[in-house]
Structure 1
Amino acid sequence: MPASSRAAARCTPATNLAQQPALSLVTIDVTVPGTSPASGRRALQKALGEGSRLFVIDFDKRNTCITFRVDVMARSIGDVVGTLAGALRRATIGRVHAVCVTRPIARRH
């Protein structure tokens, strides 16, 4: 079976995607220097906003750094990485994963 016919069989009914702005749930691992999770959390929330969810996944006392798993809604991975690169000079970015989410636009009456 040709690839094009397999792809056509999986298609869902057409929707007007122009009316649904796409966002991504970006999950990213960020390692920041320091020994206090509170200071790293404040820096990440300041950079990414209060809507971001932060979880400590590793605390490395030997290298004095803390790794956070961050979940944030954004337009793209590039937006998140760019924001982090501009705000946190000594952070290290690890695993990155994004899931595209569409949400309906609220109708105005």
Structure 2
Amino acid sequence: MASAAAFIFTDGFTQGIKVGLQVMGGVMLNDQEPDWMHGGNILRCARKHIGMTQEEVCMLMDMNLATYKRWEQGVTEPDFSHVLQICEIVFKMDLLQAIALANPEGVAA
């Protein structure tokens, strides 16, 4: 598991998500991630799990609320570094935990 986490930090968001899914036993077809694996959806699921509002997340991260809302709505895709920082700093969980929360099949990390 530690090697997967190290790989996530060095290879970017999309590749990191693919590794996270593989670690959790998920299956991908045609090398494309499912909709639930997008950064905004991962953030939304993790945020709801801990019971925070979008406003609270933005206040703690000193970021624009409209930007964060666009991420969660899937209008734009957050950078990997933002997803990682929000998960660790605000949600107090690692990225694989957040991915597990977003997985509709409920596969735990």
Same fold (TM over 0.5): no
Structure number with the higher helix fraction is 2
**Which of the pair has the greater relative contact order for Cα pairs under 8 Å at 6+ separation?**
1
Provide TM-score, normalisation by structure 1: 0.31
Larger Rg: 1
